[in-house]
Amino acid sequence: SAVLDAGFFRRWMTAAAAAVDREADRLTDLDSAIGDADHGANMRRGFAAVAAALEAEPQPTPGAVLVFAGRRLISTVGGASGPLYGTLLRRTGKALGDAAEVTPEALAEALGAGVAAVAQLGGATAGDKTMLDALGPGVDALGRGGGFAGAARAAAEGAAATVPMLARKGRASYLGERSIGHQDPGATSAALLFEALVEAAA
């Protein structure tokens, strides 16, 4: 199958920045229902900083691109999503090592390590109505050979499946039963990251 180089990973981050910019109002609307109405602004600020930093300092390998991007997210996003997505990208990048090119299979495995690190940092598990409910299905689909399109579909389905869930982590958990009936903002942005993978590969 196709190999993915540093250019692919830079395109992924640029496409992610464009996607969260395009969808910022929707992410904020979702966060206004069960959070504090800043998820669109948080994601937009974080990924715009990532894209600008990668433009200035391109980074030579897939792993370096993701570690660098993760650090930028952590330093620019104050909300819960900054450290969580920052950890996802840093840990995934670390797992890719210093290879100049990686396969989609290697990316799926590395993302699995990244998702595990997010679960450890946030203490959440599948079904808690968080970004993990889109990240998990997306990474699993990629690992099963579903391709980027299959992963994006699985992540979007995972995000939609958060609607009837009761939030057990993050701000939405303060609402208890009133969190039911709303799609989780972080699961929604996680699905956008998989859509951005499809765009980067096109």
Nearest distance, CB of residue 145 and ligand ADP, angstroms: 27
Of the pair 23, 31, the CB lying nearest Mg ion is at 31
23 binds, among ligand ADP, Mg ion, none (CB under 5 to 8 A by kind): none
- Half-sphere CA count of 70, side-chain side, radius 13 A: 22
Q: Binding string, 39-78, against ligand ADP, x = CB under 6 A?
A: x--x------------------------------------
Give the interface segment with ligand ADP, choosing from 29-37, 51-59, 137-145, 174-182 (CB under 6 A): 29-37
The residue sitting closest to ligand ADP, measured at its beta carbon, is 186
Distance CA 60, CA 63 (A): 9
20 Cβ contact partners less than 8 Å away, ≥ 6 residues apart: 27, 40, 43, 44, 47, 189, 192
Q: Does 169 bind ligand ADP (CB under 6 A)?
A: yes
3-state percent helix, strand, coil for the chain, nearest multiple of 5: 75, 0, 25
DSSP 8-class letter at 125: -
DSSP string, 49-105: HHHHHHHHS--SSHHHHHHHHHHHHHHH--STHHHHHHHHHHHHHHHHTT-SEE-HH
Nearest distance, CB of residue 131 and ligand ADP, angstroms: 4
Q: Does 80 bind ligand ADP (CB under 6 A)?
A: yes
Closest to 139 in 3D by CA, of 118, 160, 120, 165: 118
170 binds, among ligand ADP, Mg ion, none (CB under 5 to 8 A by kind): ligand ADP
Of the pair 9, 47, the CB lying nearest Mg ion is at 47
Q: Does 138 bind ligand ADP (CB under 6 A)?
A: no
153 Cβ contact partners less than 8 Å away, ≥ 6 residues apart: 141, 146
Nearest distance, CB of residue 127 and ligand ADP, angstroms: 12
Of the pair 4, 84, the CB lying nearest ligand ADP is at 84
Q: Which residues bind ligand ADP (CB under 6 A)?
A: 31, 35-36, 38-39, 42, 79-81, 84, 122-124, 130-132, 169-171, 184-187
